[in-house]
């Protein structure tokens, strides 16, 4: 059978795939996106950081996102027992966007994909990459149409893998590498939150609540604009032992153990079965190779605690699209020094704070009552997603800076 010839194939129409495809199309390239599912489809990852809107804007989709009625988000609030700490993204060290959104991902991802289509990108839904061949002069992908099981092949100059947890190229090219984070597990649901406007609760922030006794256990509460909230708990897989037969009961028990969160949710209507995801942290041996580059979660996923996933996904998409445009224009591109190394620099900054969250040192900083405002503004930049701004000392030297600061802020046991 005939092999279809295309210029660029993007695997997956999630945020990384949709942004990369639109950016390449805007530069005049032929792009085919192959997406296994039919949209709208559920995805976890509902709280966005401000920095990701820079890429939405670059891809010409900002107005559509602004018009969609998503919940505005201006920052993050943290709560542990009676302690609280708030960061407002409009007051931060790095210049850049101060507001963003909390989104039902089924709607957000569909909007981005539709926007890419409006710009001329071809997206084929319910078509799955099942095999790849990178041994010839150019990459060749085997695609299966889910509707009729038909299989066909596409040859192209370059493949961008935005397949997220599908991790298509890492699996098929043996690039997978275990993450060095312990296996954590998240239970989550959506509730009709019925949080009274008079309660003082700020819908324009994500609420991160630390469990009162188990400091490595935390909850997200992400309010949407429709009176509902996403609620989840994250804990080391071992913390669920003996309590996980009934996921609804298990999540409710964790919430009941946490008085400040129980108060927020006291009138909530639990109307959606609790779901789980575990072992989501992942890594790869390399981010690129001849004829391909990995985007977003297909490459690496750290941890949900600072909502960095979509921002990293879009940043990688923007960087890869820019480099690929140059390469297809005849320039020589060094994907290691121009893509992998600079992308990882920001990811590693996030990583230092994720590690500090779970070992307690970054929590000591966040919950410290008298932190210097200038330092809080630098931390706030990272929480807003600006983890690539090397002028921020907490980005340039995350581990050392965090260690010094944590020593200053350490709480008595």
Nearer to ligand FAD by C-beta: 295 or 324?
295
Selected from 75, 162, 170, 346, the binder of ligand FAD by CB under 6 A is 162
Nearer to ligand FAD by C-beta: 381 or 406?
381
250 with 274: CB under 8 angstroms? yes
Size of the site for ligand FAD (CB under 6 A): 39
Say if residue 40 is preceded by a cis peptide, omega within 30 of 0: yes
Q: Is 223 in the site for ligand FAD (CB under 6 A)?
A: no
Number of helices (H) and strands (E) in the chain: give both, helices first: 15, 21
Of residues 25-64, those binding ligand FAD (CB under 6 A): 34-37, 43-48
Report d(CA 207, CA 336) in Å as an integer. Answer: 37
Selected from 75, 309, 346, 356, the binder of ligand FAD by CB under 6 A is 309
Q: Is 166 in the site for ligand FAD (CB under 6 A)?
A: yes
Report d(CA 197, CA 21) in Å as an integer. Answer: 40
Q: How far is the CB of 312 from ligand FAD (least distance, A)?
A: 7
Selected from 65, 121, 140, 168, the binder of ligand FAD by CB under 6 A is 168
Selected from 165, 215, 236, 397, the binder of ligand FAD by CB under 6 A is 165
Of residues 252-291, those binding ligand FAD (CB under 6 A): 277, 280
For residue 314, give every residue at least 6 positions away whose Cβ sits within 8 Å of its Cβ, in sequence order, or none.
Answer: 15, 16, 19, 52, 55, 56, 296
DSSP 411: P
Taking CB under 6 A as the rule, which mask of x and - marks residues 109-138 in contact with ligand FAD?
A: -------------------xx---------
Nearer to ligand FAD by C-beta: 324 or 406?
324
Selected from 139, 164, 223, 322, the binder of ligand FAD by CB under 6 A is 164
Q: At what angle are helices 341-359 and 309-328 packed, to 10 degrees?
A: 170
Residue 164: φ, ψ to 5°: 60, -135
Selected from 8, 9, 10, 14, the binder of ligand FAD by CB under 6 A is 14
Distance from the Cα of residue 387 to its chain's centroid: 14
303 with 354: CB under 8 angstroms? yes
Q: Is 356 in the site for ligand FAD (CB under 6 A)?
A: no
Q: DSSP string of 31-78?
A: EEEEESSPSS---S--B--TTHHHHHHHTT-HHHHHTTTPEEE-EEEE
Selected from 50, 132, 307, 361, the binder of ligand FAD by CB under 6 A is 307
DSSP 2: P
Summarize as ranges the residues that interact with ligand FAD (CB under 6 A): 11-17, 34-37, 43-48, 128-129, 162-166, 168, 186, 277, 280, 295-298, 301, 304, 307, 309-311, 313
């Amino acid at each position: 059978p005939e092999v279809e010839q295309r210029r660029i194939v993007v695997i997956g129409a999630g945020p990384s795939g949709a942004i990369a495809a639109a950016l390449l199309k805007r530069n005049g390239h032929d792009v085919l996106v192959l997406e296994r599912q039919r949209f709208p489809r559920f995805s976890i990852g509902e709280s966005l950081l401000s920095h990701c809107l820079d890429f939405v804007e670059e891809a010409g989709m900002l107005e559509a996102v602004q018009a969609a009625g998503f919940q505005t988000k201006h920052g993050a609030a943290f709560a542990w027992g009676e302690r609280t700490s708030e960061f407002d993204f409009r007051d931060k060290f790095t210049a850049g966007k101060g507001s963003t959104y909390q989104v039902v991902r089924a709607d957000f991802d569909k909007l981005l994909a539709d926007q890419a289509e409006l710009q001329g990108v071809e997206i084929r839904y319910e078509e799955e990459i099942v095999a790849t061949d990178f041994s010839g002069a150019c990459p060749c992908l085997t695609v299966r149409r889910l509707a009729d099981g038909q299989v066909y092949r596409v040859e192209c100059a370059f493949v961008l893998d935005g397949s997220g947890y599908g991790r298509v190229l890492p699996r098929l090219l043996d690039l997978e590498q275990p993450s060095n984070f312990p296996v954590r597990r998240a239970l989550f649901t959506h509730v009709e939150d019925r949080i009274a406007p008079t309660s003082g609760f700020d819908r324009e922030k994500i609420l991160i609540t630390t469990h009162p006794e188990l400091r490595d256990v935390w909850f997200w509460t992400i309010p949407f604009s429709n009176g509902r909230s996403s609620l989840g708990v994250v804990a080391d897989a071992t913390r669920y032992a003996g309590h996980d037969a009934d996921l609804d009961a298990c999540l409710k028990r964790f919430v009941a153990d946490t008085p400040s969160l129980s108060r927020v949710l006291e009138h909530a209507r639990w109307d959606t079965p609790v779901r789980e995801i575990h072992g989501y942290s992942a890594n790869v041996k390399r981010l690129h190779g001849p004829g391909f580059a990995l985007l977003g979660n297909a490459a690496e996923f750290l941890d949900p605690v600072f909502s960095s996933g979509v921002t990293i996904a879009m940043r990688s998409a923007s960087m890869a699209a820019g480099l690929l445009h140059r390469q297809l224009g005849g320039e020589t591109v060094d994907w290691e020094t121009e893509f992998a190394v600079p992308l990882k620099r920001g990811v590693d900054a996030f990583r230092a704070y994720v590690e500090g969250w779970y070992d307690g040192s970054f929590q000591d900083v966040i919950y410290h009552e008298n932190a210097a405002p200038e330092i809080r503004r630098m931390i706030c930049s990272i929480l807003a997603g600006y983890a690539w701004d090397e002028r921020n000392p907490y980005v340039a030297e995350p581990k050392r800076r965090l260690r010094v600061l944590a020593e200053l802020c350490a709480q008595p046991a």
